[in-house]
Amino acid sequence: MDCLFCKIAAGEIPSTKLYEDGTLLAFYDIEPQAPLHFLVIPKQHIDSAAALTEQDASLLGHIYAVIARLCAEQGCENGYRVVTNVGRDGGQSVGHLHFHVLAKRSLAWPPG
């Protein structure tokens, strides 16, 4: 499948990694929108959050636990935001499920 994040997960396209295990990869966003901005992706291809089912419960728990650990390690004691964009109106530009983690500045609400 011609998927940018599958290629990053496979190491075919380089990325700056924060963390990797058998099921997921965390790497810095190439166009950061905050002083700390990384992405967490499952290595397995999933189109978006719209394709998730109850079968993905343990994967999602693992993703959020890793995000919490990485944010603690990165000193995000003031908080952070986790965002997953879905589809055109949601602003999704890469069709492989990914969670943005943004931190180290005060983030506006509501998002644009």
| Residues 6 or more apart whose Cβ sits within 8 Å of residue 54 | none
Long-range contacts of 9-12 (CB under 8 A, 24+ apart): 9/41, 9/43
Q: Is 62 a catalytic residue?
A: no
- In the bound complex, what is the minimum distance in angstroms from residue 57's beta carbon to ligand 5GP? 23
- Interstrand relation of 24-28 and 17-20 (parallel, antiparallel or unpaired): antiparallel
The closest of 61, 18, 58 to 40, measured between CA atoms, is: 18
Q: Which of 45, 81, 85, 104 binds ligand 5GP (CB under 6 A)?
A: 85
Give yes or no for residue 31 binding ligand 5GP (CB under 6 A). yes
User: In this complex, which beta carbon is closest to ligand 5GP, that of residue 54 or of residue 111?
Assistant: 111
Residues numbered 27 to 86 that lie near Zn ion (CB under 5 A) are: 45
Binding site for ligand 5GP (CB under 6 A): 4, 15, 27-31, 85, 91-94
Binding site for Zn ion (CB under 5 A): 3, 5-6, 45, 96
Residues annotated as catalytic are 98
